[in-house]
Structures are given as C-alpha cells and as structure tokens.
A and B are shown apart, each in its own frame.
Chain A
Amino acid sequence: MTVLSGVKVEEKLFQNRYLVDAGRPHIRVRAHDVPSAGLLAMTTLCPAGCYAVNESGRVEVSADGCVECGTCRIVTQKTGEIEWNYPRGGFGVLYKFG
C-alpha cells in the first residue's frame, strides 16, 4: 500500500460549510504546563486537525474547522483539560450530505 505523508486535512475541510460564531469558540483548552497523553494525542486524533503543540510545549485549539464529533471531549474527560460545549444553536458545521 502506498505510504502517504503530509495528508492535508485543511484541503478536506475546505469542502465543508460552516457558520463560524466569531469570537465565541465552543472549545477551550484550560491553562496547563504539561499536556496529558490524551490531550497530546488530539494533535493526531482530531479529525479536523484543530489541535497543535505550540513552542512552549502546550496544546492549543483552533476550533473554526471543528466538525463537532466530540472525540476530544471524551479523550480528556478524566483530566478535564478541555472545556467543550456545542456551538450556539445554528452555528458550526452545516452538513449538506452528512
């Protein structure tokens, strides 16, 4: 099987429709010094690539491309490192085909 490197999730998300609730992100990463294994795993596990590690080794989220699956909420439920809510009614991803 072909080994693929550098699959860009941004190109996939570009197909989708969103109504972004500007200035009101529905996911926040709580302040931390060292991310747990679960939070760190979100940098590969998030299907929308919303999570990244910054220069200081902390995990950041940018939820604009979020598809609201809830995986990060479930993976970090025990550590409580993520504050997760649905976007306000009507905002967020809008599936045309689903």
Chain B
Amino acid sequence: MSDTGTQTPQFDAIVVGAGPSGNAAAYVMAREGLAVLQIERGEYAGSKNVQGAILYADALEQIIPDFREDAPLERHVIEQRIWTMDDRSHTGVHYRSDDFNEERPNRYTILRAQFDKWFSARVRAVGATVLFETTVTELVRDLTGRVIGVRTDRGGAPVFAPVVVLAEGVNGLVGQRSGLRKEVQPETVALAVKEMHFLPREVIEARFNLAGSEGVVIEAMGTITRGMTGTGFLYTNEESISVGIGCIVADFATSGETPYGLLEAFKNHPSIKPLLAGSEVKEYAAHLIPEGGYKAIPQLYGDGWLVVGDAGQFVNAVHREGSNLAMTTGRLAAETVIELTRKRADMTAANLARFAARLEGSFVMKDLKKYKGIPGLLHGGKAQFFGTYPRLISQAMQTWLRVDGLDKKAKEGAIARSFREARGLRGLMGDAVRLVRAWR
C-alpha cells in the first residue's frame, strides 16, 4: 500500500512484537525519551511465546542492570549436563561449580510467558505505549517505497512513525509479506515441542542434588531424534521441569515422525523417565527455532525499517543461545534509532546501516560467523552425528567399563575397530576435518 508521505508521524518508532527483542528495543528507546508504540497480537506479552528457557543475564543486564530485583527468575544454573544418547544410555559431560553460586549469577532458568509479562511491564513503566490483542497486518509505504507506518487488524487509519522495528519472531508475516525478507526455509528451521512438568520443589532439589534456587540444565543429542538433526533438553525450574525436543522441519517432513511421539519417547528414555516420575503436566507448547545461522540472516534494514531477534535469524544453535541475541539486537537497533533521532537524521537505509555496523562489532555476528559452517555440517552428516557416533560412544563406554575377563588392550582394540568398521578410516578423518573446519 502506498501513501503520499505527508502524514505527520505520531510516534518516533513503532515496534512490532513484544518478545525479548521487541521489549529490549522498546524499553531502550522509551527510556531515552523517544515516543514508542509497541504492538503485540497476544492478550499479554508472552502469551504467544515459547522458549526452553534459559536466560543469559549479561544481555539483559546491559538493558536493565537491576533486573534481578523483581524479574521472575526460576533457578540459577550451577550445573550443565551435555549428553549423547543412544536408545538405552547416555554418556555425559557434566560441569558443576560452586563458582556459579555468585552474587550476580550468569544464567537462570525462566518461564517465558511470565518473564515477557514482567519485561513488558518495565517497557510500559518507562513510557512506551503498548497495544495488546492487536495484529499488525501490513506496512505502510510512501511513493518511494519507504516504510512510514503500519496498519493493524483494529482497522481505522494507519499509525505513522519514521521507523518500524520488526521484532515479529521466526514466523513473522509482516516483513515476509512486504517482501523485506525471504520466507523461512524448512531446511534451516527447527520445530521444537515442550511440556511443563510440575513437581514439588523438594522433589526437584533431591532428584537433581540442588539446594535453594540452584538449577541444572541438560542438553541432549543422539538417537533420541531418530536420525534427524535435532536436540532434546530438560531444564529445572523452581517447581517444574521443562522437557522438550526439536528437529529440523525438513527432516520431520520426510521422516514421518510426529513431534509429540518423539517427545513421548524422549520422556520415556530410561535416562529421563526417573527425572520426571510423578510429575503433573500443565502445558504443551510448540514453536519454530531459526537454525540456519549466519548464512540465513536476511537483509536487516532498509528505508524506514529494521529487523531484530528471531525474525532476523539471530540464534546460535550450537550454544543454544537465542533470547540473549534477541535482546542484544533489539538494544542495538534502539541505539541506532536513538542516535539518528537525536541528530535529526533521516531513517534511510544508508543511515540505518549503522545497525549492521553495531552488530558486526558485537558478539552476535562474531559468534554466528564463527559457526556459519555448522548447519551444513550437521545437515550433511546427520546419519553419523545423530545415529552412528552416539551408538559407538555408548558401546565404547560399555566395553571399557564392563569387567568381564577381557584384557584392557583387547578392549581398546575392540573400541578402535568398532569406529573403523562403522565409518572407515577415511570417513573418520573426513568427519574430524569437517568438524574442525566448521567449528573454528
């Protein structure tokens, strides 16, 4: 839709969406005195949002330094378990440290719907106008194609602002339907499903060896995804456990597996089942996760618009980081808009390019660049990485640990042979080289 561009902007900026990226952008701009309108389709912020969820403190601390005083935090993470699983076992790397019991803990488990509600209240407290139950249906452009406002499903006249920050999430329709970015591809997006299992806090603490608000998180990969590229997780909250599993959509589409069947099997895995015993399930959720990494990042700015968070594919799949990238990109977008507003500079693509420059200087782009080869590596090698190797690792551990009269040198030989037979020397070397190349 086109307009003449003669309308007077009612706001300095419009933010589409009230997830972590939209809230970060709206908060920072409103705090610095900009007139901000934020539009969210849910009844409240968080009502449409899903995450594991782990909150990485640093990204939020840079926006709201005192967030610990009243944010709804569940447990601070003192132990990380990384598991490779076959059908009957898990082999784990666990790291637990009392250093994580610090005054300002580094990572927390959270419940996203409640966290987003809190963040949104903070956004309103610094003066932003937030409209709930309102879906942005399209961008309004002037004759030159520049974005000058939005229309919503409330009807009526459009709302105008010199810049629109699209924080509309992985399944955001506005930017895609306006041709600002391409559609998300089934090969580079994961579908994750999750359940909330409630248990008394004493039970969780005894089961996971925790005291007070200490928490444990488990990330798992292996035969649990039945040859598809994906991972499972289990996070301890105050009085609940979040358990979920996700795989690349294209893999699901060809495998015929159901997401809920996969989740049910994961919950019934002998390593997971006892952790959930006796729990009461209170919610089942599903959400897409952008996993294409650096190569999937779309155009992030143009005349009158910016993209932040999941809509911009800002997820580090290797480290399971997303909401921190969302908040950081939201903050950097806000800082860009604030700078231009104060200089009375136009919100042109050339000026908004400063957002990209800010991103390049931050951990966001550095990390995504570092792992740009990983999605391709996993896609090309999913049979090995999610089947062959997890099984081999389990067999090797079992061969090594069982005391059965076989001498240790023979055991070493059997383990080495099992790897050679499964992948061949060339296959093993190739996998190692590809992994190192994709990692560095």
Q: Nearest chain-A residue to B51 (Cβ)? A: A98
Asked if A23 CB lies within 8 Å of chain B CBs, one says no
B42 partner, pick from A1, A4, A90, beta carbons under 8 A: A90
Asked if B268 CB lies within 8 Å of chain A CBs, one says yes
- Given the interface pairs A67-B285, A74-B189, the reply to whether A94 lies near B42 with Cβ below 8 Å is yes
A75 partner, pick from B186, B285, B287, beta carbons under 8 A: B186
- Given the interface pairs A69-B287, A73-B171, A75-B186, the reply to whether A45 lies near B191 with Cβ below 8 Å is yes
Provide the residues of chain A in CB contact with B268, threshold 8 Å. 1-2, 4
> How many pairs of residues, A versus B, come closer than 8 Å at their CB atoms?
148
CA distance A86 to B257 in the complex (A): 26
Q: Nearest chain-A residue to B41 (Cβ)? A: A89
Asked if B439 CB lies within 8 Å of chain A CBs, one says no
Report B82-114 CB contacts with A as 1/0, cut-off 8 Å. Answer: 000001100000000000000000000001111
Q: Which of the candidate stretches B248-256, B296-304, B397-405, B418-426 sits at the interface with the other chain?
A: B248-256
Could you tell me the distance in whole angstroms from the C-beta of B112 to the nearest C-beta in chain A?
Answer: 4
Range of interface residues on B (Cβ < 8 Å): 35 or more
- Given the interface pairs A69-B286, A74-B184, the reply to whether A95 lies near B195 with Cβ below 8 Å is no
Q: Nearest chain-A residue to B273 (Cβ)? A: A2
Could you tell me the distance in whole angstroms from the C-beta of A39 to the nearest C-beta in chain B?
Answer: 10
Q: Nearest chain-B residue to A86 (Cβ)? A: B135
- Contact across chains for A9 and B285 when beta carbons are under 8 A apart: no
Asked if B283 CB lies within 8 Å of chain A CBs, one says yes
- Contact across chains for B249 and A75 when beta carbons are under 8 A apart: yes
CA distance A56 to B179 in the complex (A): 37
CA distance A63 to B266 in the complex (A): 26
- Contact across chains for B252 and A98 when beta carbons are under 8 A apart: no
- Contact across chains for A15 and B284 when beta carbons are under 8 A apart: yes
- Contact across chains for A95 and B171 when beta carbons are under 8 A apart: no
Asked if A41 CB lies within 8 Å of chain B CBs, one says yes
Asked if B32 CB lies within 8 Å of chain A CBs, one says no
Could you tell me the distance in whole angstroms from the C-beta of A63 to the nearest C-beta in chain B?
Answer: 14
Provide the residues of chain A in CB contact with B259, threshold 8 Å. 45, 47
CA distance A15 to B9 in the complex (A): 44
CA distance A61 to B184 in the complex (A): 22
- Given the interface pairs A48-B286, A95-B113, A98-B49, the reply to whether A90 lies near B260 with Cβ below 8 Å is no
In B244-301, which residues have CB < 8 Å from any A CB?
A: 249, 252-254, 256-261, 264-265, 268-270, 281-288
- Contact across chains for B283 and A95 when beta carbons are under 8 A apart: yes
Provide the residues of chain B in CB contact with A16, threshold 8 Å. 283-285
Provide the residues of chain B in CB contact with A95, threshold 8 Å. 46-50, 112-113, 283, 285
CA distance A89 to B153 in the complex (A): 7
- Contact across chains for B288 and A68 when beta carbons are under 8 A apart: no
CA distance A55 to B154 in the complex (A): 39
A97 partner, pick from B113, B223, B269, beta carbons under 8 A: B113
B196 partner, pick from A1, A88, A97, beta carbons under 8 A: A97
Among B88, B170, B186, B195, the one with the most A-chain Cβ atoms within 10 Å of its Cβ is B186
A89 partner, pick from B132, B252, B282, B284, beta carbons under 8 A: B132
- Given the interface pairs A85-B173, A90-B42, A90-B133, the reply to whether A74 lies near B49 with Cβ below 8 Å is no
- Contact across chains for A68 and B284 when beta carbons are under 8 A apart: no
Q: Nearest chain-B residue to A1 (Cβ)? A: B87
- Contact across chains for B135 and A88 when beta carbons are under 8 A apart: yes
Provide the residues of chain A in CB contact with B285, threshold 8 Å. 16, 67, 95, 97-98
Provide the residues of chain B in CB contact with A38, threshold 8 Å. 253
- Given the interface pairs A12-B195, A97-B196, the reply to whether A89 lies near B265 with Cβ below 8 Å is no
Q: Nearest chain-A residue to B193 (Cβ)? A: A47
Q: Nearest chain-A residue to B286 (Cβ)? A: A47
Provide the residues of chain B in CB contact with A12, threshold 8 Å. 195, 260, 281, 284
Asked if B43 CB lies within 8 Å of chain A CBs, one says yes
Report A72-98 CB contacts with B as 1/0, cut-off 8 Å. Answer: 011101000000011111101111111
Asked if B183 CB lies within 8 Å of chain A CBs, one says yes
CA distance A94 to B223 in the complex (A): 33
Provide the residues of chain A in CB contact with B264, threshold 8 Å. 4, 7
Asked if B12 CB lies within 8 Å of chain A CBs, one says no
CA distance A97 to B183 in the complex (A): 28
Provide the residues of chain A in CB contact with B254, threshold 8 Å. 41
CA distance A85 to B260 in the complex (A): 24
Asked if B214 CB lies within 8 Å of chain A CBs, one says no
Q: Nearest chain-A residue to B223 (Cβ)? A: A1
Chain A residues with a Cβ under 8 A of chain B: 1-4, 7, 9, 12-13, 15-16, 19, 37-38, 41, 44-45, 47-49, 67-71, 73-75, 77, 85-90, 92-98
- 9 residue pairs, one from A and one from B, having the closest CB atoms: A90-B133, A70-B171, A98-B113, A47-B286, A98-B112, A12-B284, A1-B87, A89-B133, A41-B253
A-B contact pairs, 12 of them (CB 8 A): A1-B87, A7-B261, A12-B281, A45-B253, A47-B191, A74-B171, A87-B41, A92-B48, A95-B47, A95-B50, A97-B240, A98-B47
